[in-house]
Structure 1
């Protein structure tokens, strides 16, 4: 009896295997439609896949987003480093381009300087306590630089040499507060040249003071101020700046004008020293280290 039941189980197992194999072959055969049991199985399996696939995709998406954020952070960090490098290179290029333009302007300016020989020099030192007062150049007496020689940039006059060594020269800027520092100047652009003296510097306005102009003479804002050449130090025609305001002086006898300098005294790197070939006149004020009156 137990042997019978044992054979019966074996027979049922074999029949089940045969039925399963038959269903598999039947399912794999090329048919245009499926039967009802297959539809039920497919629908159940599809629903189960939907239930499990959506959370799986959601979790996978979260990890993908985290990975993407990490990659984005790394890429942004690399890009920032490259931008920093680019900014450094760009600053160097801008500096070199500015320096090149300044040198070109200086070279172009030399062709019109008929009455003196320009000596090229660079600013090598500047005292913070006298930022608006003095600068030191890398050319001295060995290069032909002497005291009282005018100093300028391609844009305009900046000062004069007051002290030399064999290798350096100290320049006092026209923006100095030295009361004895004067530059003989003239105002042009009004049909008639008007003469005066650059005396003093307004630190608040960052402008030069043009004084000793006859009260009856008409000068206006926007007119250009240049060196007159009458004092024996500064050659004629060096640009000093532009008039921004005209007023009567405190005594009411003469006019004074505020002059915006053509040169930027805060950014001085390449300059020219004017080795003037014209003979200095006797009795001028150059011996006292100042330009004579007009």
Structure 2
């Protein structure tokens, strides 16, 4: 009995398979689809579209989130790279500036070796007053480096000022812009003309409006002229001889016409100072 039931199942399966193949053949031979087939196809397509659009939107949302995360990471990396580039650029600019200044200092000291008996202490400016009317800068040399009050301070271009106050490790420099004829603390500068050492005058004030030094007590017979280079004469016993101060831009009658007054354009700049030199007069022995 069981054997018959098993054979019956096989027969039913074979008959069903034959009917299915026949139906497939008839379907393929028809020129078009029947309306039930069309209905089923359209229904399935519409249902797929109904579920497909939200699925695509959700997939696109998560894709946008992934892209946003990637964009954030890339932006962070670019910012770090830009920051490093800006830092390296600033370092390079500073190194180039320092290299240029040191070359100028080296050329200056080599050039001066055969001209005078001075020792030059190279100092770094580490602080400047923010007040334009308080012309004082601080340098990183002090008593332990042999710095003394009233020593002349120069740049590679010319006289800048003098040492005003000295501590163990640092010093304050009073710039030429602090020269004031009415201030007893201000040190006047005995000056002469380079190549015309018979000329003589006193520089004891600075005109902030014109940014020029005022040279007085010039004799009426003095042949000082516009374009002459003014240097220290060494007669004032504060500033050693031969340091360039500036260039004569004008010469006119002084008070009561008994002497001349000249205006001098400083050779050195008093802004953005970085390296200076303190002049020490060597013992001739």
TM-score (norm 1): 0.62
Q: Which of residues 191, 199, 221 in structure 2 aligns to 1:185? A: 191
1:252-271 aligned at under 5 Å gives the runs 252-271=257-276
Shift of residue 87 of structure 1?
5.7
Partner of 1:135: 137
Answer yes or no: is the 8 Å Cα contact 1:133–1:177 preserved in 2: no
Partner of 1:234: 239
SS at 1:211's partner residue?
A: strand
Partner of 1:125: 127
Shift of residue 147 of structure 1?
1.1
SS at 1:100's partner residue?
A: helix
Partner of 2:160: 158
Partner of 1:110: 109
Relative distance call for 1:95 and 1:259 in structure 2 (3 A) is farther
The answer as to 2:203 corresponding to 1:198 is: yes
Relative distance call for 1:76 and 1:203 in structure 2 (3 A) is farther
Answer yes or no: is the 8 Å Cα contact 2:157–2:268 preserved in 1: yes
| Per-residue deviation, residues 127-173 of structure 1 (Å, max 9, x unmatched) | 32365522222111111111121111111111111221111112211
The answer as to 2:212 corresponding to 1:207 is: yes
| Per-residue deviation, residues 96-117 of structure 1 (Å, max 9, x unmatched) | 2222221222222223143221
- Aligned residues: CA RMSD: 3.4
Partner of 1:224: 229
Q: Which of residues 255, 260, 277 in structure 2 aligns to 1:272? A: 277
Answer yes or no: is the 8 Å Cα contact 1:228–1:235 preserved in 2: yes
Partner of 2:5: none
Answer yes or no: is the 8 Å Cα contact 1:132–1:173 preserved in 2: no
Answer yes or no: is the 8 Å Cα contact 1:115–1:235 preserved in 2: no
| Per-residue deviation, residues 248-269 of structure 1 (Å, max 9, x unmatched) | 2232221112111111111212
Answer yes or no: is the 8 Å Cα contact 1:215–1:253 preserved in 2: yes
Aligned pairs, how many? Answer: 217
Partner of 2:172: 170
Relative distance call for 1:80 and 1:227 in structure 2 (3 A) is farther
Partner of 1:35: none
- 2:283, 2:262 → 1: CA distance? 30
TM-score (norm 2): 0.64
- 2:127, 2:136 → 1: CA distance? 9
- 2:281, 2:265 → 1: CA distance? 26
Shift of residue 181 of structure 1?
2.1
Relative distance call for 1:16 and 1:145 in structure 2 (3 A) is same
SS at 1:267's partner residue?
A: coil
Answer yes or no: is the 8 Å Cα contact 1:133–1:175 preserved in 2: yes
Answer yes or no: is the 8 Å Cα contact 1:181–1:200 preserved in 2: no
| Per-residue deviation, residues 183-242 of structure 1 (Å, max 9, x unmatched) | 1111225x6652211110010111111111112323332221111122222222111111
- 1:210, 1:173 → 2: CA distance? 16
- 1:88, 1:195 → 2: CA distance? 51
- 2:29, 2:175 → 1: CA distance? 113
